[in-house]
Every structure is written in structure tokens, then in C-alpha cells.
Amino acid sequence: MAYLPNRGDIVHLDFDPSAGREMKGPHFGLVVSGKVFNQQGLAMMCPISQGTAAAARTHGTVVTLMGAGTAIQGAVHCHQLKSLDWRARQVRFKEVAPREIVDDVLARVEAILFDRSA
């Protein structure tokens, strides 16, 4: 049976094409959508950077994987949520993130999408 991304999976794929301040090139990503959505060929993902993300950290939109027990280290960029064609981008599974990390990312994505202060 072929791989089907699931919420919490850390995968590797190419984020190009991209523009402006979007993350470019091959990166790891955290899948935030569930299998029911993903089986259609698209998946919602947040890219994971291996470098600095000082500006994003000051706004509370990044979740660190440092010390999370994952082989993949870096920062999950919740503010760069994307719907990606995982089949066309030849996604490759790497590992599953801890539930606490996934819950933290989902809470930050929710805060970005459903700003209650407006």
C-alpha cells in the first residue's frame, strides 16, 4: 500500500515554486491535515526550517522541535501553512512528531486563522 500522509507526520518535499518570503526549495514539513483530507492528493503542511527564524519567533508563530525527541530538528513555521500536492511533490515520510508538538502547532494555526480580537 502506498504512503498516505497523516496529521503529525514529518515529511520531506520540495516547496518550490515559491515567491517572496515563502520558504523555498526542499524542506521538511509537518502535516497538519488528516488522512481523510489528504487522500484527495493535497495536504496542509507547515514547513520546518533548519536556520534562524528570529522575526517569526517574536510573533509566536514558530514551534521548535529542539528537545522534542525527533530526529528532525528545526522550527515549524505555523504562519506559512500551505496546501500542497504531496503526490506531485514526491513526499517522503521521515517520522511522526510528538502529540504535544502537533497540538501546539494546531493551536497557533488556529490563532492565526481565527483571530478573535477583530
Domains and their CATH numbers in the chain: 9-113 (2.30.30.110)
pLDDT band at 20 (very low <50, low <70, confident <90, very high): confident
Average pLDDT over residues 49-59: 64
Residue 19: its pLDDT value, please? 86
pLDDT band at 116 (very low <50, low <70, confident <90, very high): confident
Alpha carbons 41 and 104: distance in angstroms, whole number: 25
Which comes out higher in pLDDT, residue 112 or 54? 112
**The pLDDT of residue 112 is above 60:** yes
pLDDT of residue 57 exceeding 80:
no
Please write the tens of the pLDDT for every residue from 66-102.
999 999 999 999 999 999 999 999 999 999 999 999 9
pLDDT confidence band for 25 (50 / 70 / 90): confident
Q: What integer pLDDT is reported at residue 44 of this predicted model?
A: 98
pTM, rounded to two decimals = 0.91
**Average pLDDT score over residue span 17-34:** 91
